[in-house]
Structure 1
Amino acid sequence: MRTYWDLCVGFARTGVTGYGGGPSTIPLIEYEAVKKYKWMTEEEFGESLALANTLPGPIATKMAAYVGYKIKGPLGAFVAIMAHIVPSLIGMLGLLGVLYTFKSSAVVKGMINGVAPVVGVMLAVMAYQFFQKGRQGLGSKWMIGMSLFSLCVIEFLNLHPGFVIILFLTSAFVWSTYKESGKTLFTRKQVMRSREEEL
């Protein structure tokens, strides 16, 4: 029961404080899952986030489902999703009228402008962390090249990020398959040579 309670509290916090949409919530989910409760490592979180980005739907709810399922199976996924969504839903229903009434207020606009830099910093920190992970796995040249390519096709060619993700996933799959087939072929040749030498 303690774990279910932790899932409720952790994802309720991410739902309530996740100002600015799904991407801005990811650093909050990472804090709860990796640093506070230690449900997974940073590497596991990065891999699950990359996988979640390839699937349709809001990224925050996908991550909540993944973390909950990893900890407590299907029921854990359900608890994490509900804990993430319900507080925001209640707050939205309760404050919608008030926010709509005062949407042109200078105070409300100031609050929004004041929060925006914090969200930007959180996203920048997460981007730096993922860049470092990618650099360790791919090397600096490949990481910089792929980052610049992604920036160009998304910002200047207005290509949907989903297509870029699919392109990289397909390329990685083809490259990995090619490398594995090459290793298998090399191993077979070594085995054949060993047998010939034995004969």
Structure 2
Amino acid sequence: MNQMVKMFLIFIKIGTFTLGGGYAMIPLIQEEIVEKNKWIEEEEFIDSIALAQSIPGALAINSSTYIGYRLFGLKGALLGCLGAMMPSVIIILIVATFFTKFQNMTWIESMFKGIRPAVVALIVASVMKLGKSLPKSFLNIAWVIGTVLGIVLFHIHPILIIIFSGLLGYKLFKGEKFDENNS
């Protein structure tokens, strides 16, 4: 039970101090769940992010729900989800309540202009960390480059990229058993 409460408090902390959405949360979740507490392995963490991306819902909520379920079953899923979303809900309610009083304050606008580059940096750091664990094969590198080009140059919707990647992965790898040495 103490570990479940610890996980809940970790997701509250992550939800409280992460600005910029789910992608900015990835390095914090990875730090706490994979590196500090060693509750899941890096590969499973990456799979949980892929799963969270490929189903409807917010990345942070989906990944915290999956991790909670993986660690502690249904109660863990509920606590993981609650921990990740509770800070946002409370902050949104507070902001909505006082928004009209604060919306024209230049110091608040200036703070957010300062926060934006940090959020971008968190996302880049997350991509770099996740990229390190991706096996360096021609297929994987081509897949990453093709995906980036598809989104940036051809404006292909990310949902279509995910569906296509899932179908292509199924076609290329069906029947293969995966382990650390096989990708």
How many Å apart are 1:9 and its aligned residue?
A: 0.8
Which of the pair has the greater relative contact order for Cα pairs under 8 Å at 6+ separation? 2
Separation in 1, partners of 2:70, 2:28: 18
How many Å apart are 1:145 and its aligned residue?
A: 2.1
- Structure whose alpha-carbon radius of gyration is higher: 1
User: Normalized against structure 2, the TM-score is what?
Assistant: 0.87
Q: Is 1:145 aligned to residue 142 of structure 2?
A: yes
Separation in 2, partners of 1:96, 1:177: 49
Listed as ranges, the gaps of 5+ residues in structure 1 are: 181-199
1:131 is matched with which residue? 131
Listed as ranges, the gaps of 5+ residues in structure 2 are: 178-183
1:197 is matched with which residue? none
1:196 is matched with which residue? none
CA contact (8 A) 1:69 1:77 kept: yes
- Specify whether residues 106 and 47 from structure 1 end up closer, same or farther in structure 2 by C-alpha distance, changes over 3 A only: same
> Which amino acid in the other structure matches residue 141 of structure 2?
I
Paired residues, number: 177
RMSD across aligned positions (CA): 1.9
User: Normalized against structure 1, the TM-score is what?
Assistant: 0.81
Q: Aligned runs of 1:30-45 on 2, under 5 Å?
A: 30-45=30-45
3-state SS, counterpart of residue 104 of structure 2? coil
Separation in 2, partners of 1:153, 1:124: 19
- Specify whether residues 172 and 92 from structure 1 end up closer, same or farther in structure 2 by C-alpha distance, changes over 3 A only: same
How many Å apart are 1:179 and its aligned residue?
A: 6.7
How many Å apart are 1:123 and its aligned residue?
A: 1.0
Percent identity reads 27
How many Å apart are 1:84 and its aligned residue?
A: 1.5
2:180 is matched with which residue? none
How many Å apart are 1:87 and its aligned residue?
A: 2.4
Separation in 2, partners of 1:13, 1:51: 23
